[in-house]
Amino acid sequence: MDAAARIVRAMNPPGCDTDEAELGRLMCCAQEGDQNAYALLLSRVAVIARDFARREMADPSGSEDVAQDVLITIHQARHTYDPARSFAAWMFAIIRHRLVDHMRKVRRIRSREVTDETVLDAAAAQENDDATDLLGDEIREALARLPESQRRVIELLKLESLGVAETARRLGLSESNVKVTAHRGYAQLRKLLGRNRP
């Protein structure tokens, strides 16, 4: 059994005996259009990807993002899997590259943005007060033009008056991710609303 296959076996959820051959079989069924097999395969892969990301990253809060990127990539590339080759090698090539991409993205963001939570909390509090003062229709129109991730965060924080923790739980994100997304969303709203004013 090669190293990748050993890792697959070690990363199985408790009580699950899925090994590499089984994952390969599920992938073959998925390539033929079997949606149940595909859903089962993706659940297993998500666990493996998340655990791998948690072990490799200094800040494991992004492991869910990495797992989702891996699943989407597997969906895009499922036609490239060849049953004659190792499924584990195929899967881990995707996991490793998406992890590296994620870590590069985080590094880029950190080099350009403030992530000190006290500063973000103060900015978000000020922005929340500012946002309340704006006209209802105009802000809803601008909200609709935001990217979906920013719009959902602002809707949950402002329209449904959820806290950061609850918003993070609902969206499956980390709290710092919610704050950064809200901060960007408010900045984009200010730009959009600033353009609409004479």
Among 9, 25, 54, 78, binds other proteins (CB under 8 A): 78
Q: Decide: 146 and 185 in contact? Cβ < 8 Å.
A: yes
Among 26, 38, 153, 154, binds other proteins (CB under 8 A): 38
Q: Which residues contact 117 (CB under 8 A, 6 or more apart)?
A: 176, 179
Distance between CA 117 and CA 15 in Å, rounded? 39
| Listed ranges 51-59, 80-88, 127-135, 177-185: which one lies at the site for other proteins (CB under 8 A) | 80-88
Q: Which is nearer to other proteins, 38 or 186 (CB)?
A: 38
Among 48, 91, 164, 189, binds other proteins (CB under 8 A): 91
**Residue in the block written with tokens 């590259």:** 97
Among 5, 30, 139, 189, binds other proteins (CB under 8 A): 30
DSSP 62: G
- Report the phi/psi class of residue 174: left, alpha or beta, with left for phi > 0 and alpha for psi in -120 to 50: beta
Binding interface with other proteins (CB under 8 A): 30-36, 38-39, 42-43, 46, 64, 67-73, 75-82, 85-86, 89-94, 97-98, 101, 171-172
